Structure 1
């Protein structure tokens, strides 16, 4: 069975042909349309992806809708904006398939032309430091390209449906005793402007969502 790849999508018509065209053998994309107005869903369907509609706004809502639609034992997540190369998916899924790790995060390595504003990198570094302290794992990035087993992830019971979803995944995985690992992946020039890191306001909104996840997790620990 192919590994399902969940791609949350909000107006990524320009990026989808490149992203879906580079999906490696053994991987099948699930594009979760989160209210696009540029025809993203139709483009994804034409290119052979499974398309899921999630009308509730929120990055986490899109991720979780894709997870619910997945059927493979191992599932991957990645952005649909061409900032990550699907060809590198085996780097993050391989250790999970081999039973060497329960959750693998792709640490972004900046490549020429890629845009990762200072405010976004600073926010990521602060969160990564907090994760290291809470999980004991030497993480350097929140890792938007990631892989894990589907059923154990569902069993974690993630509740955030905004930008805190990736952080909650790592926190709950660490609390559950998962073996979490990190591997390098290229961070490329994205198509269009980021909904999160493209503005200081977007970054602050994401950090706020993640802070709420930290407070909630600490309260239930």
Structure 2
């Protein structure tokens, strides 16, 4: 097995990344109780439905939402591992639909005792700006706190939509931790197409 390249992190300046790696600043946010804001009504023409164990459907929607932002975790996950998550009764998957087309994803993970994670929330390109995101985040908060939890958390990173952090803060989440994530570029590993994530260019002649 090939050894994993390593580099000393410079906490007061720049750190060069090994070839084939990408990095992101991850911000963790939490909410101890729901904000008093009223949940908006679902936008006209849209519907929200529960999805249970539909792996192919989930992968397609995850890909359409996430490829522009280099969402790779579920793209790289083997089917058996993903199916175990999607069929776990403590994981709730909701799909936002525009007529017969899936356009949004909301995933809540209640597997940690007394906690809930907003694992994924996103919309396919071209659907932002209709109020669908506000509806989904308020649905996430409402559904999370219907359960006996004391901690609701989410994380976002610097590779995501530039308004993602502000979006979560406006919904009532507060940041509490930051981390640096360094991973193999999922495009070079074949998990995402080479044209995915144009805001993070491939280096070299590719």
Please report the TM-score for the alignment, with normalisation by the length of structure 1.
0.26
Q: Which has the higher contact order (CA 8 A, sep 6+)?
A: 2
Name the one with the larger strand percent: 2
Structure ID, larger Rg? 2
Please report the TM-score for the alignment, with normalisation by the length of structure 2.
0.27
Name the one with the larger helix percent: 1
